[in-house]
Structure 1
Amino acid sequence: MSLDWMASALCATAPDPDLWFSNGGKAKKICSGCPVRTQCEEYARELEGTACIVYRHGVWGGTSAYTRSRTRARGAARFADRTAKILRLAETGLPPEEIASLVGVTTRTVFRAKRTQREEAAA
């Protein structure tokens, strides 16, 4: 992911960097009018990955670390359903490209789901 969008972020001109690690009220207000808010939030989610709440990084894209953590937890169930669908289709012998097309994911996601299943079976 390119970080060129950061140059257009309103936070780049904010006087107090600690503002982004407080309770987030003022930071969220600044973010609300930012032209790169979406890219910023996506970057935070990518940066944090699956880290626990302790290792999350302040306000990004108008969302607090806690909010992003809760959103990720709710999305986990949805991804579990998607993975189950991928694995059911794989059992039928469909090629990864066709599975990806039917589920609406990339072939990389199909391979990742199959790899995870193999690793869990081996453990």
Structure 2
Amino acid sequence: FDVIHEGLPPGTPLVPFLQRQLHMSERTLRRRFEDAFGYGPKTLDRILRFHRFRRMLRQQGEASTALLAIEAGYADQAHLIRESRRLTGVTPSALACANAGALLARQPIRGPARRLPDG
């Protein structure tokens, strides 16, 4: 389902959207979600919003976290921080630093080639 991969536009509630698209009642939708994912559609909505923020952070790198939070659909930066801690256990800035460190670790080391001593 494309919504899972692409996410909804910010501000679009997932549950009513899926109810319309799938022609299901809220109760049936919740039951199917819990069977398939182990949690309800609201939790998936939170996860998708957080993924949207992370995608924007990767694309826009140096942009303000507060601005990205609002663009991703959070009420404010504090809302993003609370949600990040709930979902990942760390703040968005710690996550960004960890991502940057992981990216740097993958980069080849630049500089003169060193010859290992014979021995």
Per the TM superposition, whether the score is higher than 0.5 is no
TM-score of the pair, normalised by structure 2: 0.35
TM-score of the pair, normalised by structure 1: 0.34
Larger Rg: 1 or 2? 2
